[in-house]
Structure 1
């Protein structure tokens, strides 16, 4: 068996994850640190179990980041973007600008040419979307003030990578590389090609994908929808790679474009399992990429740079947190979470190497610095959780999100949008309650959309789809479908995985109502019972019986 064989490497990566992550979780270190430690152990600079082609493995593993940003984009509906405009543009914009200025200044003090100093400053201003979101989700911090503001900063950073990719070639000291392009085009031609590619993603997402998804959904074959979701992500990634842009940015734009699409939740549910697995592979690859040989050769230099990176980010972030008046305890959570380099740093360092913008003597140690800063992030989060947060009296015993605030969070999920479900939804929305509606009939969805109804395609009996629809934060689930067996399946699923949901169900008759009662449904209504009573009342009134 060859050491570098695909099956062998897959076995080693999976074994490392299965062994290290549960141990790390049991020790309270979090899954991200478990993945990073596993990667460091099996990497070429430690046990050497995965050979020396870590860069190739990381290039594949970055597909997990691509999928993650696609899912992040799917959550960014225009209303949410508008609501978050101040933290995105203000907090996020100032963080990138101030961090770039500080790191550029440090580069100039180290006697870098100003072009190199500015390039390094721009790259190190970025934080890790993958590690921060994973860590905050595990600790239940995403709906806190710190979590929402951290998400806004990360969102601005991810968007800022687009102009950075356009600016960095202009900083090349060698003029021959300034107008270079992966396709041999001049600068304006390459810019035009990028504009055409992004326009194609936006127009295609708005115009072409809805009827395509409707046709696919009408087949009622889950595996075809899964294949279509993966085809969409991979196709956009290839298009972005062709024009010399980051695949993650392209899929992020596609996600934003599809945020209002009725098939959004189904896309989330199909891609989520692949994202989780590949994101774990990415974290392992980051750990494996830490060059311990270089670290051992110049330990003081590398560790000093890591400390400088974290301290500069700390200074900028805590200042901005105070300026934007975050609560005292939230300021520190926000700061600890974002004080690292990011996965886009690897992308941009590779980009600067290809375009001869930065010399290898600068790139090599900084790649190690960024990887180490990412590895230290889970430890920083633990320090914040165990020793910093208890200092604040206002902090509770846990970081449970404020689930009493319903603004922006789904209150009621309705499964099934036939005549019964439509009446329920109309009554709730007219009284100001927020709903998320799931319907498994693609033709029904298309008809309802013509009348302005916002309905999402998906099978509510799938756990990952309910999760994507907001079942973790919703208060109630209304089962309004006419398939009784499917309704029982949904109820059993919610009882097991979402026990906090209050369940309301539509029963076809007495037998079905009795089964709902046995399963612990909170409220169930026989669909013909009340209408029959009402009609009986009308008949008796017409016969002269006094009301």
Structure 2
């Protein structure tokens, strides 16, 4: 007898399997995770191999990923920051929606489309995908930037604007809506005000004590359940009065942004948000009606290209009016030019209200879905064709041209080179500093540092910098290949130079030793050692004992590196040396701890306890 899998189990296998295969493949091809989810949805959807057919139900469920995302975004914005954003939200957000809707409405009228259809289509297409935009801005760390803040403000206004758009649809229907008594309208308005007031007051007065009470139970899974319950309950309240679920979740996040449980809420909800957002993108891929696309390919292509281009023009000039940098505008424009998930709701509701027939709704929904599918691909194209050109057109300054005379040359004036330069300068020793990043040079000069613009991998520039007479060359650049190129140049043409070189990792350290460079410092080793010493002190170890242990570890580590170096090209031998060295050091420290415990009582300090090595 055959045993049939439950629908939820078979669907779970399909979704997870499609995501696990498609997303890593997409990222390996440099297309990003969103393309992978969308492609997976197309493959398993009705127009692919047909593993899943109930697309609409899945899309409604997957929209909860957007709700969780807005809740997490709200947790990053306290009420003061949100108040500071009020003008961008209502000013620039209103300008984007109104401008895009006006241009699209005019285009529809010029094309001879009925004004009702043109108006609803324009309003729906004016909205952008919050899910894709925030996902991309998060991956690129754009949210703290001016373009990210502007994009977020506009997207938030769009969530608010979706409410009056949906309320307008019954008035535009072919059949006049039932008259609603004034008392009914007042009751609906009172419900909306009451729900928002409940969320605000509850977030201020009730949620924190409730979360504190749950946290005292010391049951992590219950706190996770409470976090999900909070978001679900608020979303349900907003949905019950006809408001945006995502907007309610965002408002709740803002109210809890100053809570002591903010980080724990983020940690608990983040995995669910990621999975549901992935499911949302899969559902979008499944929702693309290729039947409409194949039946009217020319109309679909014209519709997609037309509304994306018109929106892009409006958004580009809006970004210019907002004062966004030229290199920030391409991504900003693309993320707001695509269609959005709320357009699905608007067009489905418009078909239900008889504003236009279901076939028109399918065409518009397909156009939005195709634009969302194309936007990550266009983003890859922008990265490779547009932003790469901006990177190639980096500002340059006049290179070092006058001969310099200083006992020290520092190549690279980033976070590493600056510390070296300041320490040497504090002892009255002049230095010649070179850096090939124009922005870094100007920033350093603004703080009073004398830095010359130039590429230290060029022999002529090193000669002008005085390498023939200089005693020490500090190679502090962060790029490994540039570092090795500078070292090779110095060893060949200026053999008298004493080289002090920054190493990024063990491989870089070995390559420098192969070139005979003995003064090599790993960039994070000393700072990590100090942090480890601090951890020991916080755990109750006396400061002198923590310092002694850190210094012993430092010497043992350097000795181990010297033992490893002859075998760095033989992996198996290298691993054996490392394991043996670590085991010997741990056994030696264990013996010394036992000996010290037997010799002295806790807290006793003698002069020999302090290490003679004064390195930090």
TM score, norm. by length of structure 1: 0.70
> Relative to 1, partners in 2 of residues 1:501 and 1:302: Cα closer, same or farther, differing over 3 Å?
farther
Aligned to 1:192: 190
Provide the rounded CA distance (Å) in 1 between the counterparts of 2:162 and 2:177. 23
Provide the rounded CA distance (Å) in 1 between the counterparts of 2:36 and 2:549. 43
Aligned to 1:118: 119
Structure with more relative contact order (C-alpha pairs < 8 Å, separation 6 or more):
1
Provide the rounded CA distance (Å) in 1 between the counterparts of 2:358 and 2:164. 23
Deviation at 1:155, TM superposition (A): 2.0
Cα offsets for 1:197-231 (capped at 9, x unmatched): 22222221121111111101111211111010111
Aligned to 2:29: 27
Deviation at 1:514, TM superposition (A): 6.5
Q: Is 1:30–1:135's contact at 8 Å kept on the other side of the alignment?
A: no
Cα offsets for 1:474-511 (capped at 9, x unmatched): xxxxxxxxxxxxxxxxxxxxx9xxx9997854342239
Deviation at 1:396, TM superposition (A): 6.5
Provide the rounded CA distance (Å) in 2 between the counterparts of 1:112 and 1:500. 71
> Relative to 1, partners in 2 of residues 1:296 and 1:85: Cα closer, same or farther, differing over 3 Å?
same
Cα offsets for 1:266-305 (capped at 9, x unmatched): 2111111100001000000000111111111111111110
Q: Is 1:2–1:8's contact at 8 Å kept on the other side of the alignment?
A: no
Q: Is 2:56–2:287's contact at 8 Å kept on the other side of the alignment?
A: yes
Q: Is 2:25–2:36's contact at 8 Å kept on the other side of the alignment?
A: yes
Q: Is 2:339–2:371's contact at 8 Å kept on the other side of the alignment?
A: yes
Pick which of 146-155 and 39-48 moved more.
146-155
Provide the rounded CA distance (Å) in 2 between the counterparts of 1:348 and 1:80. 30
SS at match of 1:127: coil
SS at match of 2:63: helix
Provide the rounded CA distance (Å) in 2 between the counterparts of 1:164 and 1:146. 26
Deviation at 1:264, TM superposition (A): 1.9
Q: Is 2:79–2:255's contact at 8 Å kept on the other side of the alignment?
A: no
SS at match of 2:339: coil
Provide the rounded CA distance (Å) in 2 between the counterparts of 1:376 and 1:84. 30
SS at match of 1:392: helix
Task: Please show how residues 453-472 of structure 1 align to structure 2 within 5 Å.
Answer: none
The reply to whether residue 44 of structure 1 matches residue 46 of structure 2 is yes
Q: Is 1:115–1:173's contact at 8 Å kept on the other side of the alignment?
A: no
Provide the rounded CA distance (Å) in 1 between the counterparts of 2:548 and 2:18. 46
The reply to whether residue 168 of structure 1 matches residue 172 of structure 2 is no
Aligned to 2:589: none
Deviation at 1:13, TM superposition (A): 0.7
Q: Is 2:26–2:33's contact at 8 Å kept on the other side of the alignment?
A: yes
Pick which of 325-334 and 104-113 moved more.
104-113
Provide the rounded CA distance (Å) in 1 between the counterparts of 2:352 and 2:5. 29
SS at match of 1:141: coil
> Relative to 1, partners in 2 of residues 1:267 and 1:194: Cα closer, same or farther, differing over 3 Å?
same
Alignment RMSD (CA, Å): 3.1
Provide the rounded CA distance (Å) in 2 between the counterparts of 1:313 and 1:500. 53
SS at match of 1:175: coil
Task: Please show how residues 499-538 of structure 1 align to structure 2 within 5 Å.
Answer: 505=535, 506-510=538-542, 513=546, 517=550
Q: Is 1:162–1:249's contact at 8 Å kept on the other side of the alignment?
A: no
SS at match of 2:177: helix
Deviation at 1:95, TM superposition (A): 0.9
Aligned to 1:84: 85
Aligned to 1:343: 341
- Residue correspondences, number: 420
Provide the rounded CA distance (Å) in 1 between the counterparts of 2:95 and 2:65. 28
SS at match of 2:242: coil
Q: Is 1:33–1:375's contact at 8 Å kept on the other side of the alignment?
A: yes
Deviation at 1:133, TM superposition (A): 1.6
Pick which of 117-126 and 220-229 moved more.
117-126
Cα offsets for 1:18-59 (capped at 9, x unmatched): 000000000000000000001001101121011x21001111
Deviation at 1:165, TM superposition (A): 3.2
> Relative to 1, partners in 2 of residues 1:177 and 1:379: Cα closer, same or farther, differing over 3 Å?
farther
Aligned to 1:441: none
Provide the rounded CA distance (Å) in 2 between the counterparts of 1:334 and 1:516. 52
Q: Is 1:233–1:251's contact at 8 Å kept on the other side of the alignment?
A: yes
Q: Is 1:236–1:251's contact at 8 Å kept on the other side of the alignment?
A: yes
Q: Is 1:172–1:178's contact at 8 Å kept on the other side of the alignment?
A: no
Provide the rounded CA distance (Å) in 2 between the counterparts of 1:4 and 1:374. 32
- Listed as ranges, the gaps of 5+ residues in structure 1 are 398-402, 405-494, 521-531, 534-547
Q: Is 1:100–1:122's contact at 8 Å kept on the other side of the alignment?
A: yes
Q: Is 1:99–1:316's contact at 8 Å kept on the other side of the alignment?
A: yes
Aligned to 2:223: 225
Provide the rounded CA distance (Å) in 2 between the counterparts of 1:147 and 1:172. 37
Q: Is 1:42–1:49's contact at 8 Å kept on the other side of the alignment?
A: yes
Deviation at 1:263, TM superposition (A): 1.9
Q: Is 1:240–1:250's contact at 8 Å kept on the other side of the alignment?
A: yes
Structure with bigger gyration radius: 2
- Listed as ranges, the gaps of 5+ residues in structure 2 are 396-413, 416-523, 555-602, 605-616
Q: Is 1:169–1:179's contact at 8 Å kept on the other side of the alignment?
A: no
Deviation at 1:349, TM superposition (A): 2.3
Provide the rounded CA distance (Å) in 2 between the counterparts of 1:26 and 1:378. 15
Provide the rounded CA distance (Å) in 1 between the counterparts of 2:5 and 2:290. 21
